Amino acid sequence: MATETTAAVEGHVSPIALEEAGKCVDSHGGAIGMPQLCPEWMGNQIFWLAVTLVVIFFVLSRIALPRIAAILAERQGTITNDIAAAEDLKVKAVEAEEIYNKALADARTDAQAIIAENKAAIKAELDAAMAKADAEISARTAEGEKKIAEIRAGAMESVEEVAKDTAKAIVAAMGGKADAKTVNAAVSSRVKG
């Protein structure tokens, strides 16, 4: 590339003209391929480099960096506010969880109390029903025993009558004569024991 530039420069401008114009030329009279490295131009290049850097520094320090700093400060403020809000929400969440757990414990306690009350009410109803059933059973038992006693009394009377009739029939079958008063007395004494 440098040789092409040198050849192109040599073809159009003479090395003496370049030297008289203040251009850097090499020992053969050709132009140098990279003018930035010409020692004669170094001072000029350093000056403009310093001017450019100072301008960039002022542009950055007066315009760009304050805007960037403002944006960073705003972001930091937003992050700080978000962290504070998150901490507040965390505290509220813990409080809400405690309230929920307390409400749950209270509900369980209330449920246990309701269960105990219902058990007591059911037990009372069951005891009343059992007492009523026992009373009905006792009444029916007494009624049944009364009927059984009546049946026994009726059976004993029937047995006595049958025994009297049978005794009369036996005495008559044996060829004897029995009066009703004697047969009744004998059967009554045997039945009584």
Is the residue at 31 inside a domain? yes
Indicate the Cα dihedral angle 56, 60, 64, 70, nearest 10°. Answer: 180
3-state SS assignment for residue 25: strand
Is the residue at 63 inside a domain? no
Q: What is the pTM of this model?
A: 0.39
Residue-by-residue DSSP string for 104-162: HHHHHHHHHHHHHHHHHHHHHHHHHHHHHHHHHHHHHHHHHHHHHHHHHHHHHHHHHHH
Is the residue at 144 inside a domain? no
Give tens-digit pLDDT for 94-151: 999 999 999 999 999 999 999 999 999 999 999 999 999 999 999 999 999 988 988 8
Q: In which domain, by residue range, is 12 found?
A: 2-40
**Contact status, residue 31 vs residue 24, Cβ threshold 8 Å:** yes
Is the residue at 164 inside a domain? yes
Distances in Å between the alpha carbon of 139 and those of 84, 93, 125, 128, 149?
81, 67, 21, 16, 15
- Number of structural domains the chain divides into: 2
Give tens-digit pLDDT for 57-91: 999 999 989 999 999 999 999 999 999 999 999 99
Is the residue at 102 inside a domain? no
Q: Report pLDDT for 9.
A: 47
**Crossing angle (nearest 10°) for helices 180-192 and 65-173:** 140
Residue 172 pLDDT exceeds 90: no
Distance CA 57, CA 80 (A): 31
Is the residue at 30 inside a domain? yes
Distance CA 135, CA 131 (A): 6
Give the tokens for residue 69: 């700093």
How would residue 7 be classed by pLDDT, with cut points 50, 70 and 90? very low
Is the residue at 165 inside a domain? yes
Is the residue at 27 inside a domain? yes
**Number of neighbouring beta carbons within 10 Å of residue 187:** 20
Higher pLDDT, 165 or 119: 119
**Number of neighbouring beta carbons within 10 Å of residue 42:** 11
Give tens-digit pLDDT for 8-59: 444 555 545 545 555 666 666 666 667 777 778 788 889 999 999 999 999 9
